[in-house]
Chain A
C-alpha cells in the first residue's frame, strides 16, 4: 500500500518552472531515494510534500488523505540538524510530541524510551553543542520519527558528515530502519548513498525537473557489508551515471 503519493505536482518561481508533473509514491516500510543534481528542484518538491508551500498543480496524499499545502503531517530532517541549542537532547527530541499537546513529562518519557534503540543512550541530559555531528543527526532522526511513525522526509541528512562518519552513520541508519520500519523519502545527490540505502530510486533530471527514471535496488535487506564493493552495486551505479549523463 502506498503511504505517500505525489500526483502530477508542478511548481514555478518567478516565471521559471522548477519541477514539472512529478508523480512518485512511497510504499509502507520502503526507503525511496530521490536522486538529482543540486538545484534541480529536490528541495522545492520536498517543501511541497511537507506542506510548507503549495504546488501550482497536483496533489499530495498521505494514506489517501489529501494533505496538499497542509503542514503538520509529514516531518523532515535536513543536513542541518536543527536541534535547538537551548534544549537538552531529550527535550529536543520530545518537541514534536509537546507541540501536538502531549504533557511535558509524558513526552520526555516516551522520547527517552527510544534512546537505546537509536544509539543515543546517555545523551539525554546533554545539550546539542556537546554532541558530535553523527550523534546530532541520530537525535534529529529520532525527533523526525517521533513526529510521525508513518513517513519521514530526509533531505540530504548526512551530506555534511565526513566520509568515515558517514559510513558509520549509514550502517546505523539501515540498522535502525530495520527495527522501526519508517517509510522514508530520502533526497540526495550522492549516488552511492542512494544505492546503499534505498529500495527504489527516482531520478530527477532536466530543467524543469522531471522524474525520468525509476530503478529498483533488488538487494535483500539487511544489506551485506561489502554490498558497496560488489559487481551489482557497480552495475547500478553505471546505470545511474549513464542516465544522468544523457
Chain B
C-alpha cells in the first residue's frame, strides 16, 4: 500500500516536470523568442499530429511490421546463440568476443551498405534490426544462464537430471528476468533501428515520412513524428513489462 502511494508521488513529480517543460517551450514559441518555423510550439505540433494522423498511422504500420519481424528474428538468434554458447564452452570462447565486436560498429555506418546489398525493400531494414536487437538478448540470457545457483544444479544432478533437464528446469527459468531486461532494451532498439534504416531509402515507414517532411521544412510534422516514435517505443517497453508479469507470476508475490 505504502509502495503504491510512493509510486503515485513519483509519477506526480515526473509528470509536473514534463508539463513545466511544455509550458516553457510554448512560451518560447508564443513570445517569439525562437521563430516558430524553426521551433514549432507544442500546440502546433499537436495540431500537426491530429491533421496528419491517418498518414502517420499508415507509416507506423510499416515501421512496426519491420520492427516486429526484426525483433522476432533477433530474439530467435539471440536465444539460439546464448543456448549454444552456454552449452559449449568452445563456442563461448570463440564467438563471444566477435559478438561484442559487432556492437562497436555504428548502426548508421552499416545501414547504407545493407541498402546497397539488399535494396529498398524490407530485407535490409529487418537485417539491421536483427543485428542491433540480438545482442542485448544474447548477453542477458547468457549472463542469466551463468549466474544460476551451482548448488541447485548439483542437487538436480544428484537426482539424476541430464543436461537438458538442468537447462529446462533451472537455467532457463533462472535467466528469465535477465531475458526480459534484454528484451526491453531490444524492443526500443528495434523501433529506432527501423526508423534509421528507412531514412536511407524505402517506400514507406516513419523514417521515410520523416525525410519527406524534413525536406519540406515542416518542422511541426517532424516533431509530431518524433513524439510518435517515442510513444511507440514506450508502449513496446510497457508491453514487455506486461509480458514479463504474465510469464513470471512468482515475482509479484
Interface residue ranges, A against B (CB under 8 Å) = 47, 50-52, 71-76, 78, 80, 82, 84-87, 95-96, 99-100, 127, 129-130, 147
Would A129 and B253 count as touching, CB distance under 8 A? yes
CA distance A71 to B250 in the complex (A): 30
Number of B interface residues at 8 Å Cβ cutoff, please give it.
20
Whether the pair A74, B250 counts as a contact (CB closer than 8 A) is no
Chain B residues, CB < 8 A from A100 = 159-160
Residues in B154-173 with C-beta less than 8 Å from chain A: 154-161, 165, 169-170, 173
B158 interface neighbour in A75, A84, A130, Cβ under 8 Å: A75
Task: Determine the main DSSP class of B at the interface with A.
Answer: helix
State in angstroms the CA–CA spacing of A84 and B173 once bound together.
9
Q: A95-B169, A99-B160 are in contact. Are A129 and B154 (CB under 8 A)?
A: no
- Let me know if A71 and B253 touch, CB within 8 A: no
Known: A84-B152, A129-B253. Is A71-B169 also a contact (CB below 8 A)? no
Interface majority SS (helix, strand, loop, mixed), chain A? loop
23 contacts between A and B (CB under 8 A): A47-B154, A50-B154, A52-B158, A71-B159, A72-B158, A72-B160, A74-B158, A75-B158, A75-B159, A76-B155, A76-B158, A82-B151, A84-B174, A86-B174, A86-B176, A95-B169, A96-B159, A99-B156, A99-B161, A99-B169, A100-B160, A127-B250, A147-B159
Within 8 Å by CB of A52, from B157, B165, B174, B253, lies B157
> B58 contacts the other chain (Cβ, under 8 Å)?
no
Residues from chain B with Cβ under 8 Å of A47 in the complex: 154
Q: Let me know if B173 and A86 touch, CB within 8 A.
A: yes
CB distance from B92 to the nearest CB of A (A): 24
6 pairs of A and B residues whose beta carbons are closest in the complex: A72-B160, A50-B158, A86-B173, A127-B250, A99-B161, A96-B159
A85-B154 Cα distance, complex, nearest whole Å: 16
Residue B34, interface by CB 8 Å: no
Is B35 positioned at the interface, with any CB of A under 8 Å from its CB?
A: no
Closest to A72 in B: B160
Verify if B52 is at the interface (C-beta below 8 Å from A): no
Could you count the A-B residue pairs with CB atoms below 8 Å apart for me: how many are there?
59
Interface: B248 (CB within 8 A): yes
Contacts of A72 in B (CB 8 A): 158-160
The verdict on A71 contacting B157 (CB below 8 Å), with A84-B170, A95-B169 known, is yes
Question: CA–CA, A78 to B174, complex, Å?
Answer: 20
Closest to A50 in B: B158
Q: Return A156 CB to nearest CB of chain B, in Å.
A: 13
A152 to chain B, nearest CB (A): 11
A residues less than 8 Å from B174 (CB atoms) = 84, 86
Whether A71 lies near B155 (C-beta < 8 A) is no
Q: Which residue of A lies closest to B157 (CB)?
A: A71
Which residues of B are found within 8 Å of A84, using beta-carbon distances?
A: 152, 169-170, 173-174
Smallest CB separation, A154 vs chain B (Å): 13
| Contact between chains at B250 and A86 (CB < 8 Å) | yes
Judged by a CB distance under 8 angstroms, whether B121 is at the interface is no
Report yes or no: B165 in contact with A99, Cβ–Cβ below 8 A: yes
Answer whether A129 and B160 are a contact pair too, CB < 8 Å, given A80-B151, A84-B169, A99-B165: no
Smallest beta-carbon distance A85→chain B, Å: 6
A128 to chain B, nearest CB (A): 8
- Report B102-134 residues with CB < 8 Å from chain A CB: none
A78 to B158, CA, bound (A): 13
Is there contact, CB below 8 Å, between A82 and B160? no
Q: Report yes or no: B176 in contact with A78, Cβ–Cβ below 8 A.
A: no
CB-based nearest B residue for A83:
B152
Given contacts A76-B158, A129-B253, A130-B253, 8 further A-B contacts (CB under 8 A): A51-B158, A75-B159, A82-B155, A84-B174, A86-B173, A99-B159, A99-B160, A99-B161
Beta-carbon nearest neighbor of B173 in chain A? A86
Question: Across the interface, which residues of A come within 8 angstroms of B248, CB to CB?
Answer: 86
Q: Taking the nearest CB of chain A, how far is it from the CB of B121, in angstroms?
A: 42
Residues of A within 8 A of B154 (CB): 47, 50, 52
* Bound Cα distance A51, B170 (Å): 20
Q: A85 to B177, alpha carbons, bound, how many Å?
A: 12
The answer for the CA separation of A220 and B173 in the assembled complex, in Å, is: 46
A129 vs B252: C-alpha distance when bound (angstroms): 11
Q: For residue A52, which residues in chain B have a CB less than 8 angstroms away from its CB?
A: 154, 157-158
